[in-house]
Chains A and B, each alone.
Chain A
Amino acid sequence: MKEFFENEMKLEFVSKANNEAFARAAVAAFAAQLDPTVEELADIKTAVSEAVTNCIIHAYESKQGIIKVIARLKEDEIIIEISDNGKGIENINLAKEPLFTTKPNLERSGMGFTIMESFMDSMDVESIVGLGTKVTMSKKIQPKPEEDEKDFLLVAKE
């Protein structure tokens, strides 16, 4: 059964470092519909940036490939899928470990997956060596009191 989503967008772009800023800004603009706080939006942007950077640096290395980003809004939650057709990850558990990196010479910190995991509510990695990797992340945007409600509370106090 196909799940019903309230809104959805898809992006495809080539794996160039210049597109990191584009991808996170686009997802943030889409996520803005859920009225997130500045901090929630910063978390989403950072997680997207980490995932896209992984595609560019690790999945495709110096080669050029296509990165796909799908974002869905479902009630108060954003679900983001970032995938590539790159080289894949041999050992996902090892890759997820904080400070683990296969590219220390490029000054990679090895914190990408750790940041995605802690800035989002959930993060899942699927990968097949030689075929590609898909990262799926989700985050619930906390509801805020309505402006009218705040005014009403103030009036009620007086």
Chain B
Amino acid sequence: MESKFYEKDKLLVFKINEEIDDCSVQKIRGKVDYEIERCMPKRIVFDFDSVTFMDSAGIGFIIGRYKLARVIGAKIEVTNLSKSVEKIFEMSGVLRLITVSKEVVNL
């Protein structure tokens, strides 16, 4: 996982490069929260372009970050969802809390 903060736009982008399951989420969660708390962004974008697999751990992960973002007044966006990732997000209802953006952000 890589991240970049755009100070001017208060935009924090995470590019996830691993399969998302219970195991990988445990590894990246702390790092993501640390970056969010350090940068205090207004917009947080998770780029799923390199995510080849995701199970329900991804839903829990996004809901957890949504709760944190709400505390600091930030919005969460996800982008570059594959068909199967989108199917899981749709099923869970999590898309009511976050935005699916078409915008491609280069790190």
Q: How many residues on chain B are close to A (CB under 8 Å)?
A: 22
A108–B60 touching, CB < 8 Å: yes
Interface segment, A49-57, A65-73, A120-128?
A: A49-57
Within 8 Å CB of B55, what residues of A?
Answer: 46, 49-50, 53, 115
Do A53 and B21 touch across chains, with their CB atoms under 8 A apart?
A: yes
**Stretch in contact with the other chain, from A14-22, A88-96, A136-144, A147-155:** A14-22
Judge whether A107 and B23 touch: CB under 8 Å: no
Report yes or no: A115 in contact with B56, Cβ–Cβ below 8 A. yes
Residue on B nearest A115 in the bound complex, by CB: B56
CB distance from B18 to the nearest CB of A (A): 9
CB-based contact A111/B22 at 8 Å: no
Residue of B53, B57, B83 touching A53 (CB-CB under 8 A)? B57
Spell out A's residues near B (CB within 8 Å): 17-18, 20-21, 24, 39, 42-43, 45-46, 49-50, 53, 56-57, 106-109, 111-112, 114-115, 118
Residues of chain B lying within 8 A (CB to CB) of residue A53: 21-22, 55-57
CB distance from B68 to the nearest CB of A (A): 11
B60 engages A107 (CB within 8 Å): yes
Is the CB of B88 closer than 8 A to any CB of chain A? yes
24 A-B residue pairs with Cβ-Cβ distance under 8 Å, sorted by A, are: A17-B22, A20-B23, A21-B19, A21-B21, A21-B23, A39-B83, A39-B84, A42-B53, A46-B53, A46-B54, A46-B55, A49-B21, A49-B55, A50-B55, A53-B21, A53-B57, A56-B22, A107-B64, A108-B60, A109-B60, A109-B92, A112-B56, A114-B91, A115-B56
| Proximity bits, B5-30, A CB within 8 Å = 1, else 0 | 00000000000000101110110010
